[in-house]
Chains A and B, each alone.
Chain A
Amino acid sequence: MLLKIASHSSERRRILRIILIAAFILLAAQPVKGHGYLVRSIPEDRAVLERAPVRLQYWFSEALEPDFSSITTRDLNGEVVATGGVSPTNPTLMEARLPTDLEDGAYINELRVAFAADGHVIIESRVFFVGEVVSGVAGLAATDRAIALEVVWKVLVLSSLTLLMGTFALYNLVLLPAWGSATHRAGNLPPRVMRRLNTIVIAALIIAVLGNLLALLQQTMVFFGADAARVLRDGLWQVVRIGTRFGDTWNVRMLLLGLAAVLHGLSLYLRSSQPETVRAFWAANVWVLALMFATLSVASHAAGSLLLPWVAITSDWLHGVAAAIWVGGAVALALVAPAALQPYKGDARRRALLAALNRFSPVAAACLFIVIATGLYNASNWVTQPADMATTYGGALALKVLLVLVLVAIGALHHIALRPARYARFSALIDRVSSFLPTLRLEALTALSVLVAAAYLSATPVPPLDLAGQSIPPPRAEFQLGDYSVAFTMIPGGPGVNTYDAVVLRDGQPANDLTVRLRMAHPPLDWRGDWQIAEPLGDGLFTAAGAEIDRPGPWQTLLEFGDGETMQRAAFQWDISADAAAIQSRDPTLINLILLGGVLAAVGYALYPLLRRFVRALDLSPTIVLVAVAALVLTVVLVVVGIRLTEEAALQYERTVNPPPAVVNPVLPDMASLLRGRAALVEACGDWHTEADWPELLRRLPRTRDEELFAYTSAGWRGLPACSPALDDGSRWDIVNYVRSFEASGAAPLASS
């Protein structure tokens, strides 16, 4: 009867645990958004524009999946006026071209953004107004999507991989040294222990495979917006598996799972014929599992870090591996201990358990240091101000930290109980946990809660960084010349890659039959880029892109248009701001560097036993140490000096090739300047056009600087006479601009007139 009651009680406890875990999973299944976020948008949400923009551009913090990301722009009647997608040249940019004849009113941009790293899809809408604000129209924030399935597969994958890593590590680092014996040839542990370990590994492998299959199903459902039945019926999962970055990491993870399963299968298959290989297969699988955690890291928050992405991924991987050895090891120990200790009672049972715990304690401590150090560094990537802790991410982080603290407290309890002599003042506490197994189970249960919290955290959007310049409008200018009107926009308008859009209208109608070319110039360095032909996209829109603007400051755009024989010139002056660039990376702060130092210290602590063994094997005689230190110092000095010299040489080369001019051309080379320049050249310089050396000057123009041309107007050049001394500087610069206009391949603006 008593036995029956005890059995019922145990069953109830088991059911209660399952309910608790399920409740936690459901609690974690809150609506979430993607990991990535918008770093720059043109136009801004709710921007009020005098005229319709030529194109919409949205820069994100991470690369996007081109096949599953799109922009649809609608007017207030719901009519689609434009569609777009991921830029073919920049995977972090989504863009759409708008028609040039958009009427005044409100326009809604529906964004469907699929992030490549984690496969998260967000759907949100943003509004812009042409003319004036239309009341009652607003965009919708990123659609909150119930992704219980995502949290479920993440819990399954994370907990199974953690258990696998913990089990393999526990076997090699704890169980073998503590309990191993050569008398048990297959695995060096008693068959009952190996049976229990094998059961854990096989169960975890099955759960990991199921979790991964669920991941592919859920991801395909999200990408295609389809239900599970359609995904399976139409084979859509294959498209995601072979056509996306999520599919790439999924494939690698499944391959590694297959490798781990094969290695473990071999250890079972060969345990009778070649028992000595069992231990070897268990050692090899530690590394396979460590690698498997890397597949989680490349699809984690870390992959989208603007701060040193590979350091972030490495830190995330260290965090995962250390947590898995610590938490997974604790769970595996709790699961294997009953079978291992089954023949023992009393003091022998206690000594056997103590042997394992004493081996596990330093491993767990080293892992704990790494978990804390990497956790702080990882959080510093996203939590940059106190207000971030009030976000969903901050809440999820706090929940995880709280549960980890409980785990640390239980670990500390075990640490104290294992050393009764040293912590005699806690004897009452030590007596309460002296049997260890109940607290070991509690530790395992708490560890599972931590894993659920970790899955929840990884499915929670990070707080967007407050990036300067997000609201700086792109440089835009208009120019009227006779029948033509030109509107030019440079997007985003900061240093880096920019898109150049020119809308040319003739008598108010799109002038699609023109040739349009443009070049960028930086007068402070007397530098000009190459002429590039703008691609006609219809509706009078001509577009080009380039990375000529490499620094803030005054820049010019020279734009020429015409039928190829007769060209007109428009010129625009910009004051480029560094903040206007679409930020794709950020520099580490002092806090980031300090925390990174903490990570290195924690890893150093964990590797200290290995390093000590290595150091002991070295010949540390004074002569050898002196030579080694001298060689090290010399190497460091040479590397530092080499880097400095290389930088200096690069700077010197740039100064030599393109030195700042003694006099800077202050006159914008627009059509008016060219006309003035031609007139001045004819009237005050004896008309260089008729001189024999004129063609030679034009031939040399690409390698002749403005300041040299300016000097020629005073001193003459070869057969070209000096201009009248009465000519003012402004007119001389007009002449320079006019002469420079002949540099274009093809007709110069005033060549035929």
Chain B
Amino acid sequence: MLPLVLAHGALGWWDEIIFLGVIIVFLAIMGYSWVKSRSAALDADPPSGQPAQPASKNHAAQDRFTLE
């Protein structure tokens, strides 16, 4: 029989399986996000110091400003 890992049995078997399951899922997502972020492209990359669409007054134009 495997030893209880957490809480010395205070959580009970099923609860501990849930807890450890959540940890494994999160670490898996962490690994996935690491791999995905490595190769992900940024949004439109306008010339340095310029907004993406300087002439536009729409909202999209106001949420991008490439820092020098």
Residues of A within 8 A of B (CB): 63, 91, 116, 172, 176-183, 188-190, 193, 243-245, 248-249, 252, 276-277, 279-288, 290-291, 294, 298, 310, 340, 343, 348, 351-352, 354-356, 358-359
Which residues in B have their C-beta under 8 angstroms from that of A348? 49
Which residues in B have their C-beta under 8 angstroms from that of A116? 7, 10
Query: B65 touching A355 by the CB < 8 A rule?
Result: yes
B contacts with A, residue count (CB < 8 A): 38
Query: A355 touching B7 by the CB < 8 A rule?
Result: no
Query: A181 touching B66 by the CB < 8 A rule?
Result: yes
Closest 8 CB pairs of A and B: A355-B65, A283-B37, A358-B63, A287-B30, A284-B34, A280-B37, A280-B38, A245-B7
Question: B42 in the interface, Cβ–Cβ < 8 Å?
Answer: yes
B52 to chain A, nearest CB (A): 9
Partner of B19, one of A182, A285, A298, A359: A298
* Contact of A287 with B29 at beta-carbon distance under 8 Å, contacts A181-B67, A245-B8, A279-B38 already known: yes
Partner of A178, one of B11, B37, B64: B64
Partner of A287, one of B6, B18, B26: B26
Which residues in B have their C-beta under 8 angstroms from that of A244? 8
Cα A276 to Cα B34 with chains together (Å): 11
Other A-B pairs beyond A182-B42, A280-B37, A348-B49, 14, CB < 8 Å = A180-B45, A181-B66, A190-B67, A245-B6, A252-B23, A277-B38, A283-B37, A284-B30, A288-B30, A291-B23, A294-B22, A310-B18, A351-B51, A354-B63
Query: B7 touching A248 by the CB < 8 A rule?
Result: yes
Query: B65 touching A279 by the CB < 8 A rule?
Result: no
Q: Is the interface of B mostly helix, strand, loop or mixed?
A: helix
Partner of A180, one of B11, B42, B63, B68: B42
B24 to chain A, nearest CB (A): 10
Query: B26 touching A290 by the CB < 8 A rule?
Result: yes
Contact string against A for B residues 7-20, beta-carbon threshold 8 Å, 1 for contact and 0 otherwise:
11111000100110
Partner of B59, one of A193, A280, A358: A358
Query: B65 touching A286 by the CB < 8 A rule?
Result: no
* Contact of A193 with B8 at beta-carbon distance under 8 Å, contacts A183-B48, A288-B30 already known: no
Within 8 A of A (CB), among B20-62: 22-23, 26-27, 29-31, 33-38, 40-43, 45, 48-49, 51, 59, 62
A279 to chain B, nearest CB (A): 5
Which residue of chain A is the closest to B6 with respect to CB atoms? Answer: A248
Cα A280 to Cα B40 with chains together (Å): 9
Cα A247 to Cα B11 with chains together (Å): 14
Cα A748 to Cα B54 with chains together (Å): 99
Which residue of chain B is the closest to A62 with respect to CB atoms? Answer: B10
B17 to chain A, nearest CB (A): 12
Cα A249 to Cα B15 with chains together (Å): 14
Query: A310 touching B42 by the CB < 8 A rule?
Result: no
Query: A352 touching B26 by the CB < 8 A rule?
Result: no
Query: A343 touching B10 by the CB < 8 A rule?
Result: no
Which residues in A have their C-beta under 8 angstroms from that of B15? 310
Cα A280 to Cα B42 with chains together (Å): 13
Cα A291 to Cα B21 with chains together (Å): 12
Which residues in A have their C-beta under 8 angstroms from that of B10? 63, 91, 116, 245
Which residues in B have their C-beta under 8 angstroms from that of A177? 42-43, 63-64
B38 to chain A, nearest CB (A): 4
Which residues in B have their C-beta under 8 angstroms from that of A176? 42
Which residues in A have their C-beta under 8 angstroms from that of B48? 181, 183
Can you list 22 A-B pairs with a CB-CB distance of less than 8 A?
A63-B10, A178-B64, A178-B65, A180-B66, A182-B45, A190-B68, A245-B6, A245-B10, A245-B11, A249-B6, A283-B37, A284-B33, A284-B34, A288-B30, A291-B22, A291-B23, A294-B22, A294-B23, A310-B15, A340-B67, A354-B63, A355-B64
Query: A281 touching B42 by the CB < 8 A rule?
Result: no
B51 to chain A, nearest CB (A): 6
Cα A82 to Cα B49 with chains together (Å): 78
Cα A291 to Cα B28 with chains together (Å): 12
